Structure 1
Amino acid sequence: MINKTKLPIVFCALAIITIVLAGWGGRQISYQELRQSALNELFRYRNSIQYLLERYQPLPEIIAGNPRLVDGLQNPSNQHDIDLYLEQMARASDASVIYLMDAEGNTIAASNWKSPVNFLGKNFSFRPYFQQAMAEGEGYYSALGTTSKTRGYYFARRIDINGKAAGVLVVKLDLDGIEVAWESPWDQHEAAFVVTDSNGVVFISTRAQWRFHTLQPLSLQQQKQLENERRYDNRTLPLLNFLEQSQPYSLGGTNSEIRRVGIPGQIPEQFLVQRVSMADADWKLYLFIRTTSVYSTMLVSILITAGFLILALFGWLYWRERRRRFKALQKARDTLNTKVQQRTRELSAANHQLVQTAKLAVLGQMSAGINHELNQPLTAIRSYTENAIAFLERGKQETAQSNLHEILHLTDHMSSIVHQLKAFARKSDDTHQITSLPEAIQASLKILAPSLKSSGVALVQEISDTPNLFVRGDMVRLEQVIVNLITNAIQAVREEPSPEILIQLTGSDQHLELRVIDNGHGLPDDDPENIFEPFYTTRTVDQGLGLGLSITRHIIQSLDGTITARPTGETNNSGTCFTVHLPLTNNTNTGHQKQITEQPCYAE
C-alpha cells in the first residue's frame, strides 16, 4: 500500500515517465512516416529518370541502322549530308546533340555543326562510352561535356561494316536544368534530391551548391580514373560535409539514416537520408529531408499527453473529494439514526418512518456514487473510442491500437482487437509486372485529352466489362504504345469532315486484343507493312520522322505480343485498324472471360 504522503511523488514520477514515452513514441512514429514519404518521393524520381532514359535508349540503334551513315563512314565527301540528317534527327527527338565518330574516335559529323562549339574534328576516344561501344556494341555514360560544358547522359551504338567496327553513333541527353522538372512538392529548403555516380560525386542536385561535391573522399585510383576519363573536365571536387548522427530506434534495420549535411564553410543541417540504386545507369539516388517536422510532432505528442494527465489529475481529485463527502454524510446519518432509536415509544411510528426515509436517502446517495463509478470508465471508453477514430483518420494506427487495448482492459468483455492495415513505390526497372490494360488506356487518354479536344475527334470506347484484363508488362511502355497509336489516328483523320476514332478492348483465355480504328485516309497502296519500318512516313518532317510505329512494334514484341495494320474496308484508303495482341497474365483468373473471335475491323 502506497503511503498517502508519497502519492504525489509517485504520480509525478509516473507522469514524467508517461510524457517521456509519449515524446519518444511520437518521435519514432514521425520518423517512420517521414521515411515512408521519402521512399514514395524517391521512387517517383527514379521512375521519372528511368522513363526519360528509356525514351532515348532505342534511338541510337534506330539511327545507326540508316544506310547513309555507313555511306558517310566510307565516303568522307558525304559527311555534310550526314550533318544535316543528324541535325534533323536531334531536332525531332529533342536530343541535345547527335554525332558520328570514326573508329579512332574522331567526330566526322554532328548535329551541332552550325554551333561555334560544335563537335566536328573533336576526338572523344578517351570517353568510356566510346570504348565500351567499340568493344561491346553499345555504351552508356554520364559526364560533364568537355566542349559544351553541360551535363549529359550519352547513348552510344557501334556501326559495323563488313563485320568490322567502323565507327560509333552517340546521342547525348542534356541533363542541365533537369532539376527544375523534378522539383520536390516540399519546400525547397526542406528537401533535396541528389544523384551520384559510382564514385559518390554529386552529379544532379536540386540544391545547386551541392553539385560537383563528393559524399566520401576519393581514393588516388578514383581521382586518376576521373582525370583520365575527363568525366568532370578535371574540375575540383570538394568533399561535402556528410556527418553521421545517432540512428532513431524506428529506423533500425533500414537503409535510412540521419546525417548532418552541408557544403564546407557552412553550418550543416540535419536530414533524414533515403537512397536507392539505379544499376543500369550506375547511379545512386538520394533524398534528403530535414527533420524539423519530427521535433514538432514530438512536441505535440508531449503536449497532448500532458493535457490528458492534467485532466486525469483533476478527475481523480474530484472523485476523492466526492468520496470524502460521501463518507462524512454517511457517518452523520448513522449518528442521526442512533439518536432517533433512543426517542420515546410514542415517536416510534414517526421514527420508523424517519428511518425509512433516511434509508431511501442513503440509497439515493449510494446510487449517485455507483453511477459515478460506472460513469467514469464509460466516459473513458467513450473518450478512447473517439480518440481511436480520430487517430485512425490521421493514419496513426499504433496510437489507435493502444486506445483499443485500454478499452479491452476497462470492459473486460471484449474478446479480440481489430488490427489496422498499414500504407510504401516500388520503377522503371525493366522487370515486367502485372499491369491493367484498361488503366493504361485511361491514363493515355488523359495525356491525349488536349489533342483530342483541339482536333475535334469523336472518340468511342468499347472496353470489355470483363474483370482482370491484365498483362505482364510495364505501365509506362504500354502507355507509350497506346499514345503512339492514338496520335497516329488523330493525324490520319485530321482532314476528315467527321473524324472518329474507335478503341476496342476484348479478352480471351490466352490473349487480350486492343484495336485502334480510325476513318482517316487509310494505309499506303504499296505495302501496309512498310508503316512499321523505321523512317517510313507519308507526312512532312514537322509531323514526324516515321519512328513512332517502329518503336511501337519494338515494344509490343518485347512484351511477347504482335501488332498488325489493315484497312477497315475493301480498299486501303477506307480507314485504318491497328490490332495489338498481348498474352494474358497467368496469375489472372480468366474462367468467365469470353473467347475472342476474329471479326472484321470497322469504323462507324
Structure 2
Amino acid sequence: MTSPPALLQALPPPDTRPWWRRWVARLRRPNAHVWLTLGLVALGMLLGQRLSENAGMAQLAAVASERLELYTAALEAELARHDYLPNLIAIDDEVQALIAQPDDGALRRRADLKLARITVRAGASASYLVDRQGVVLASSQPSDTGNNPLSAGEQSRLRDALQAQAQHFFAVNEGNGSTEYFMLHLVRKQRQVQAAVVVRLNLAPLEATWIDLGLRSHGEKLLVVDDNEVLIMSSVPEWKYRILGHVTPEVQAALQASGRYPGASLQGMGLNVEGMEKQDALLVAVPAAKGLREGGLLLAQQRVAAPLGVRLVTLSDPAEVWRQAHYATWGGGAFGASVGLMSLYLASRRRALRQVFQAQTALQKAHGDLERLVDHRTRELRTTNEELKRQIAQRLQAETELVQAGKLAVLGQMSAGVSHELNQPLTALRALSANTLRFLEAGRTQTVAENLKAIDSVVERMAAITRQLKSFARKAENAAEPAVLQTAIANVLLLLEHRLRSAQVEVRQDLTLPDGLRVKADANRLEQVLVNLVGNAIDAMDDVSPRRLLISARKDGERVRVQVRDNGRGIDPALLPRLFEPFFTTKPAGQGLGLGLVISSKIVHEFGGTLRAVPPADMPHAEAGGMCFEFDLAWE
C-alpha cells in the first residue's frame, strides 16, 4: 500500500500562474477556439437584438409622441375655431328678445332665420337656443311638424350638461352614427341661468381624414376616448364605440342604458388601460382589424386633451423595429463570429509566423539571388532596347531613302521615254529651221510662215512634256485647291505616252463624270498615284497580247471611284494581303523596289480615301485574268 508521502509526491504540482495566463493556455487547446467562437456568436446575437430593439422602440415612441401632440393640437384647434359662435349668437338682439318672451311665435321664427344664417356662414352643422330644461326655443333647422331636432340621446346629454353647467359635450348622432361635438354658452340674468346657446359641429370629416391616413399608413392608428373609456372617434372604423379596456356585463348594460351611445355594441378591446396611465409607451395586444394581424402587438401612447375632456391614443406598429432587430441579431452574430474567427486567425498567424521566421533566411538569400539576376537581365534588356532603337532609326532612314529612290526610278523610266519623245521633235526642228533659212533666202515668205507655225507647235509639245516631268519631280505640298480629275488623267497619259506606245497598249477611258469635276486632292500627288498604277499595269501585261488598259471613273454618292484595270497575268490570291507591305513586289529582281503601292496607299489615305486591290472574281463584266486597283476621293 502506498504511503501518504509517496502519494503526495505523485500528484502534479499546483499551478501558480496568474488566472489570465491559465486562460490563455486553455485557449491554445485545439477545440477551445471553436467553443469561444460559438459563445461570441450567441452573445453578439443577444446584444444586437436587445440594443436594436430598445433603440428602435425609443425612436418609434419619440416619433409617435410628436405625432400625438400634433393630433391633439389639431383636434383642439379644429374645435376651437367655433368657440366664438355661441357667444356671438347669445348677444344677438333677436335671440335676447326670444329669451325674454319664449312663447312669442314671431320672435321664434325670426330667431330661427337668424340662427340659420349665422350657422351657414360659420360652417357649423346646426345651432339651437334652449331653455334651462333643455327645451328647444329656436333652431337653425326648424321643423314644420314641431318635432324636436335633437334625438333622445342628444337631449339627455344636453340636460346633463345644463345641469352640470358644462361648456361642451360629445354625443352620437342616431341618424348616421357619427360623433358630434356640442358647444354651450349659458345665458345668465342676475346670476341665474335663463337659457343656453348650443352650437353643433359634425366631426365626421375630421374622422374621415384620420381613416384615410390610417389606410395609407398601416403603421399608426389614432383613437379618441371619452370619460367612459369609449372610443368616440377612431381611424379604424371597426373599433368605433368599443370600450378601450376590459368591460364587465354590468358596465356594458349601464352604458347602453344611459342612451349616450345608441346602437353601439360597446364591446371591450382588452387594452391594459392602467398600464397606459403609468407608462408613457406600452406594448399592447389589439384585436384583428383591416391592415392589422390578429393578436398583433402595437405600441400605445396617450395624451389628455383636458379642455375637451377626452384622451387621444395612438397605436404604432413596431414591425419595422422588430425587423431591424432581427437584422441586428444576425449582425451581432456575424460580429461575434468575426471576433472568434479573428482570434483563431491570430492563433494560426502566430504559428505561421514561426514558420515564416524559419524560412526568412532562405527567402532573403533567394531574394538576393533574384535581384542579381534581375539586374543582369535589366542590363541585357537595356542594351537590346538601345540596339532596337538604333535599328529602327536606320530602317526609317533606309525607308525614306528607298522612297526617294523609288520616285527617282520612276522618273528615270519616264525620262527615258521623254528623251525618246524629244529626239523626234528636235530632228524635226533642225530640218524645219534649215528649210526655213533656204525658203527665206528664196523669198518664199508664205512657206517660211508655215514652217514657223510648225516649229511653234513642236516647241509647245516639247514644253508640255518637260512641264509634266518637272511637276512630277517637284516635292509635293499641301493642296491649296482641289484638282480636276480629267486633267490629272490626261497629264499621266501624256507622261507615259512613250511607254504605252512602245508596249502597244490599247488605252480606253470610261469617265462618266461632269466636265471639270474637282476632287479633294493635290494635283501632283494624285498624278503620282495614277503614274504608279498605270506603270504597274504596263509591267503586268508584258506576257499577254493584245494589251488593254481601262481607266474608269464614276460618281458613287458623295465620292468619286477611280479604277485602273489591265488584262495582264494577275496576282496570286494568296499574295493579295501582302500587296501593301513595304518592299514586297511580284516583279523580277532588279525591276521594282516594292514601294510604289505603299506610297500610293499612303497618299490616297491622306486624301481621305482608300486604295484597294480588286481580284477579277470581284469585278463585274471583267475579262479573264488581269487585275484592278481602285481608290475613292471626295468631290466638290
Larger Rg computed on CA atoms: 2
Give the alignment's TM-score, normalised by structure 1.
Answer: 0.49
What TM-score, normalized to structure 2? 0.47
